[in-house]
Amino acid sequence: MKRFLLCAGALLLMISCKETNVFQQEWKTPYGTAPFSRIAVADYVPAVKAGIEAQKAEIAAITACPDAPTFENTVAAYELSGDLLARVTGVFFNLSESDSTPEIQAVEEEITPLLSDAENEVFMDPAFFARVKAVYEAMDGLDREQQMVTKKLYERFVRNGIGLPEAEQARFKEINTRLAVLSQQFGKNLLAENNAFKEETGVTVSAYPSFMTECADRAQREKAFLAYSSRGNHGNANDNNAIALEILRLKAEKAGMLGYPDAASFILSDKMAGDPATVDAFLGGIMAAAMKKAKAEVADMQKVMDADPTVEKGAKIQPWDWFYYAEKVRKARYDLDEAETKPYFAADSVKKGLFYAANKLYGIRIEPAPEVEVYNPVVEAYRLSDADGSLLGIFYMDWFSRDTKRGGAWMNNFRDQYVAADGTEVRPVIVNVCNFPPPADGQPSLLTVDEVQTAFHEFGHALHGFLTKCRYRDVSGTSVARDFVEMFSQFNENWAFQKEILAVYAHHYQTGETIPDALVEKIRAALRFNQGFMTGELCAASILDMRWHELSAEELAAFTDAQSVRDFETKVCAEMGLIGEIIPRYRTSYFNHIFNSGYSAGYYSYLWSEVLDLDAFEKFEREGLWNPELARSFRETFLEKGGSEEPMTLFRSWRGGDPDPSALLRGRGLL
Ligand SMILES: [Zn+2]
C-alpha cells in the first residue's frame, strides 16, 4: 500500500525521463550501490540537468495539486522528490572531494551554479511556499518528526529570502549564486596552495604535524611553518584573501536583508547555541583556561630548548618549535614515543577495534562486502547489520591519502536513510575518508595516536548515519544542527584507548604481541598532554571565525586588501589573549571550514559538541562503560532520532539535566 498520497504529475514525468546515462538507469547492483565503473565523467552534467528538471516538475506537481495543502501532499511529497538529483550529487560530491581530477573539477565548476540556481528557484517559489506555510501554521496535529521536517522546510524558505520584496529577492539570488562560485574557488585555490606547499617543502599538508614533530633542523621547521601558515596568502593567482572578504561581505549583506545585524547572528539563529553572545562567552571561558595551561607548556618547552646544544643561546620558543619541543617534553614526562606506539596501530588492527567497540556497544555486525563495487581500488566496502540481522547500510572505508584527495578527514553519505513512497525503507550508503599514510614497501600503514582518534571520530559520524531510524531524509542521520553533530563523532573517540578495546585490536604488526599495559597507561596519560596548545589553537580559530562573521556589511567595507585581513587577524589574536607562540589552527586564507565547507560562524561547534560528548561520556563512566542499558538508551535517544527532535530536548531527556560546560575542561585536563 502507498504510504503517501501524492499528486500524480511528478510520477508521470519520472517515467518519461530518457534513460540516457547511468544515473537515469536502474542500478541493479548489490544494495543499489553506485556502479562506479560504468560512470563516465561525461554523465554528470546531463544527469544533474535532468535531475534538476525532474525535481522542478515534481515541485510543479505539488503546487498544482488542487487539494488543500497537507503534510502528505506538500512536505512529504517534497521530501520524496529529487531522487535523480540526490543520486547523481551523492556520487559526484563525494568523488570531487576524494578522487578529484581536472575533468571532475571542470564538472564541478559547471554544475555548482546550476545547482545553486535550481535551489534558489525552489526556495523562492511563492506558490510552493504558500503551501508549506499553510502546513507549518497548522502543524499541531502532526507527529514530532513531521513537525521538525515542516519547520526545517519552512525556515529554509524564510532564510532564503522568500519574505523579501521582489527586487531584493533578485539580489539575494545573485548573492547565493556568487557565494557558491566563490566557495568553490576558495577550495580550488587551497588545493593548489597545498600542492605548492608540498613542492616547496617536500611535506604534504596532512603530514605537516608529524614533520614538525620530528624535524630537528630548526631553520627547516621555520621554513615549513612559514610556508604552511601563508597558504593562500601569496598575492598570486591562488591568493584567497579577496575571496574570503567577498564571501564575508556577501554573507553580511544577506543577513542584513533578512533583518540580522551580521552573518553570525543569522547563521546561529537556528543552531543549538542560538546567538553570537552565547558562543563568544563559551569560547572566552575556554580560551582563558587554555592559555593558562599553554603558558606553563611554553615554560616546560623553553627549559628543553635551553638545554639543546643545536639552538643558539637565549633563543625563545617560536610557533615552529611547538610540535618539536612538545614532543620532547612528552617523551621526558611520559616516556612515550610515537615510534613505540605506532607498530600497535596498524590500520587493519585499528579497524578491528572500531568494529569491536560498535558491536559491543550497539550489537551491530560489520562484515566485508566484496560484492559491492568501490570507486578506487584502495577503498573497502562493508555491510553493517543490526543484532537481528537486518541491514543497517553499506560502508566505504577510504583511509589513505592520495593526490586526488583533499586534506582532512570526513564522513559523508552517498545515499541517505529514509522511507520511500511505497513504504520500503532505504538504508544509507556512507563513506569515511581519511588521509592516513598509505601502506608502503611491504609495511602496513601504522597510525599515530592522533590518527587512531580520527578513525574513531569519523566512524562515530558513520554510526550516527547508520543507526538512524527516521522517515524523512531531511532529518535522518547526521542531518542535525551543526553544533550538535560533532557530539557523536567525538563521543566515539572516547572508546579508542579503553583497555578492553586495546586488548582486542592493538597488536604489534610484526610480533602479534598485545600492547603492554604500561604503554597503555602512558598513552592515556599523554592524551591530556599539550592541551593548552591543542585547545588554544582550536579555540583561536573558532574565535577568529566568529569575529569575521560578527562584522556588519559596513564594517567589512573598510577591508580593502590582503594586508587589512592580516591586520585584523593580528588584532583579534591579541584581543583573545592568544600567546605569540600559538597561531589559530586555521588562518583566514586557508580556513576551508568557514569559506568552503559550511562551518561559517560554526567552527566553535567542535568545542560546543565536546561539552555534550564529554558530559555524556562521564555518565557512561559513572554507570558503566559497557552498560548495555545505557548504550541502548544512548542509541535510541540520539543515534536513531537524527534531527527529528530539538537537540537540547533530546539531551535533557537522556541526561536528566543541562549539559555541564566544565566537562570539557575536565576532559581536556584544563581545570
Ligand atoms: Zn567530525
* pTM recorded for the entire structure: 0.88
Cα of 491 vs centre of ligand 1, distance in Å, is 10
Distance from the CA of 613 to the center of ligand 1, in angstroms? 12
User: Can you tell me which residue has the cell 604534504?
Assistant: 204
Q: Ligand 1: distance of its center to the CA of 410 in Å?
A: 6
CA 482 to ligand 1 centroid distance, Å: 10
Look at residue 17 in the predicted model and tell me its pLDDT.
Answer: 46
For residue range 298-326, list pLDDT tens digits in order: 999 999 999 999 999 999 999 999 999 99
Backbone φ and ψ of 81, nearest 5°: -85, 170
pLDDT score, position 8? 41
According to DSSP, residue 139 is labeled -
The residues annotated as belonging to the active site are 458
Amino acid at 103: E
Cα 424 to averaged position of ligand 1 atoms, centre (Å): 30
Apex 618 CA angle, 613 and 622, nearest 5: 150
**At 368, is the secondary structure helix, strand, or coil?**
strand
User: Which amino acid appears at position 138 of this protein?
Assistant: A
One-letter amino acid for residue 185 of the chain: Q
Q: Measure 269 CA to ligand 1 centroid, in angstroms.
A: 22
Residue range 632-659: mean pLDDT, rounded: 96
pLDDT tens across 63-87, in order? 999 999 999 999 999 999 999 999 9
Give me the pLDDT at residue 654, please.
97
Least confident of 546-550, 555-559, 561-565, 666-670: 666-670
- The CA 458 to ligand 1 mean position distance, Å, reads 6
Average pLDDT over residues 367-396: 98
* Structure confidence at residue 2 (pLDDT): 34
pLDDT at 15 over 70: no
The strand pairing partners of 652, in sequence order, are none
Q: What is the pLDDT of residues 512-544, one digit of tens each?
A: 999 999 999 989 888 889 999 999 999 999 999
d(CA 579, CA 165): 48
In the predicted structure, residue 20 carries a pLDDT above the cut 90: no
Q: What is the mean pLDDT of residues 150-164?
A: 95
Residues contacting 148, CB < 8 A, separation 6+:
475, 643, 644, 645, 646
The residue-averaged pLDDT of 84-113 equals 95
Enumerate the H helices of 342-437 as residue ranges. Answer: 347-362
Q: What is the DSSP letter of 435?
A: E
Per-residue pLDDT, averaged over 565-588, amounts to 98
Indicate whether 231 pLDDT > 80: yes
Distance between Cα 485 and ligand 1 center (Å): 7
- DSSP designation for 7: -
Ramachandran angles phi, psi of 426, nearest 5°: -90, 125
Report how far ligand 1's centroid is from the alpha carbon of 162 (Å): 32
- CA nearest 174: which of 113, 126, 129, 123? 113
Say how many Å lie between the CA of residue 462 and the centre of ligand 1. 10
pLDDT classification of 19: cutoffs 50, 70, 90: low
Asked if 162 and 126 count as a contact pair (C-beta separation under 8 A), the reply is: yes
Does position 11 have pLDDT exceeding 70, yes or no? no
In contact, 244 and 556? CB cutoff 8 Å: no
Phi-psi region of 235 (alpha: psi -120 to 50; beta: other; left: phi over 0): left
> What mean pLDDT, rounded, does the chain reach?
94
Q: Is the pLDDT of residue 12 over 60?
A: no
Name all contacts of 631-636 with Cβ < 8 Å and 24+ positions apart.
631/361, 631/362, 635/361, 635/362, 635/467
Average confidence (pLDDT) over 35-53: 97
Region 188-203: mean pLDDT is: 95
- Angle at which helices 144-159 and 126-137 cross, to 10°: 140
pLDDT greater than 90 at residue 18: no
Look at residue 586 and tell me whether its pLDDT is greater than 80. Answer: yes
Residue pLDDT, tens place only, 331-365: 888 888 888 999 999 999 999 999 999 999 999 99
